[in-house]
Chain A
Amino acid sequence: MPVTVEVPESVDGVLGALGDGAVVLAGGTQVMPRINTGAHDVATLVSLRRAGLAGIELAGDEVTIGAATTLAAVGADERLAFLRPVIESIASPSIRNLATVGGNLFVAPPYGDLAVALLALDAQVDVAGPAGSETRGVGDVGDLPGGHVVTAVRFALPADFRYTKAMRRRLNSASIVTVAAVLGAEPRLALGGAGRKPIRSAAAEAVLATGPLDRERAEAAGRAALEDAEPPTDAYASAWYRARVLPVHVRRALMGETA
């Protein structure tokens, strides 16, 4: 089915163009493969490229990243150096030059590692829609109704961020399990490969909150994470395998160990 492409120059223009059969096009790394098969029901692609949604702002500790900011731009920003391991664990440079922060919230597992990190960061997602703007949690944008568009993600710079992604290959591979954590008085731990979308593990967080981080506590957090996990089976790993290795990777992420 042939597809029309709109390239509005404002968020209002984007909302105006999001009619029936319209799909938001950010970097294109998820939408275009579907379009290129020819077997799709998309009538219109509404591009965010000129809508003024790219850019990274830092006000005090508060980071705001425009939805159409590329993963490459995030990875190149010295102020966000803590996110570089996350960015570099995702796809390849030529994909990261297109793929966007907003788009990463909508890719299905075993992809979407930045969304795991954003969940651990307790990021807020700004959404524009016909009835105005609203703010949602990272976990609540997957079922965004039609006619809405993510405009930005916001989070506080973390004091202590941990991350690991287990892959079949060292580079450019989907996630077996992904672990992101922000340590502190109220620790947060998020998992990819532990459900149909990224999840927070309340059980692991409760273990981490009981005292200072050491290997024993990290291992206990890994075991606790299994309580919240319902790992899926896909072409990369079985549910059984993911459950077996999840505690190990939780420990590795927390202790900063490499494989």
Chain B
Amino acid sequence: MRSRVIELTVNDEPREFLAPPGTTLLSALRETLGLTAAKRGCAQGTCGTCTVLLDGDPVMSCLVPVETIDGAAVQTLEGVGGERSGGEASGRDRGELDAIQAAFLEGFATQCGFCTSGMIMAAEGLLAENPDPSREEVVRAISGNVCRCTGYESIINAILDAAQRRAAVVR
């Protein structure tokens, strides 16, 4: 039972680290790479608060042993927004929010905040694939993400708002 060297592209930067056997992607992000936006909620794939993008698709990172995805690209909330060029750290350090983050902030779509990073990553996955979603498509996209403050309406509105903000920039 030996640790293995794992290489991932995390938020567009190559990362290499040692993973003890059985380490989940979530644990690797939080405990090894210091990226704590993805949260450990249920560890059962039920709550969605650990959602990250794996090769572009939203997944529950608590369900993925990191040894099975060596070489993959992972996007976390830390890599959303800001300037990500030149090997600098995450957008968090640069302080510039992306459209979804800004829409969540201004639309009061965050209450306790525990679900927010998972919600935003599920929304990032949706808008990357479908930049102009219907309300129903937004509801479906976040159907694996639980908000126990039950603030779903403002979250859905924020994601729809973010889609409009992005469309406005493109125009």
Chains A and B bind each other? yes
Could you tell me if B54 and A93 are in contact, using CB atoms closer than 8 angstroms? no
B111 on interface, CB distance cutoff 8 Å: no
Could you tell me if B48 and A5 are in contact, using CB atoms closer than 8 angstroms? no
Could you tell me if A93 and B58 are in contact, using CB atoms closer than 8 angstroms? yes
Contact residues in B for A50 (Cβ distance below 8 Å):
68
Could you tell me if B24 and A92 are in contact, using CB atoms closer than 8 angstroms? no
Could you tell me if A28 and B65 are in contact, using CB atoms closer than 8 angstroms? yes
B140 on interface, CB distance cutoff 8 Å: yes
Q: Beyond A7-B68, A95-B144, A172-B143, is A32–B59 a contact (Cβ under 8 Å)? A: no
Q: Measured between C-beta atoms, what is the minimum distance from B122 to chain A in Å?
A: 6
Q: Beyond A45-B22, A172-B144, is A97–B68 a contact (Cβ under 8 Å)? A: no
Chain B at the A interface: SS class: mixed
Could you tell me if A33 and B63 are in contact, using CB atoms closer than 8 angstroms? yes
Task: Count A/B pairs, Cβ under 8 Å.
Answer: 91
Contact residues in A for B57 (Cβ distance below 8 Å):
72, 97
Could you tell me if B69 and A5 are in contact, using CB atoms closer than 8 angstroms? no
Q: Beyond A25-B68, A94-B58, is A171–B22 a contact (Cβ under 8 Å)? A: no
Could you tell me if B140 and A35 are in contact, using CB atoms closer than 8 angstroms? no
Q: Which of B53-98 contact A (CB under 8 A)?
A: 54, 57-60, 62-65, 67-70
Q: Beyond A4-B1, A5-B68, is A95–B45 a contact (Cβ under 8 Å)? A: yes
Q: Beyond A5-B67, A47-B65, A171-B143, is A93–B122 a contact (Cβ under 8 Å)? A: yes
Could you jot down 28 A-B contacts, CB within 8 Å? Answer: A2-B20, A2-B22, A5-B22, A5-B65, A5-B67, A7-B68, A7-B70, A27-B63, A28-B64, A32-B45, A32-B65, A36-B43, A47-B65, A49-B68, A50-B68, A72-B57, A88-B140, A92-B143, A92-B145, A93-B122, A93-B125, A93-B126, A94-B59, A94-B125, A94-B144, A95-B60, A98-B64, A171-B143
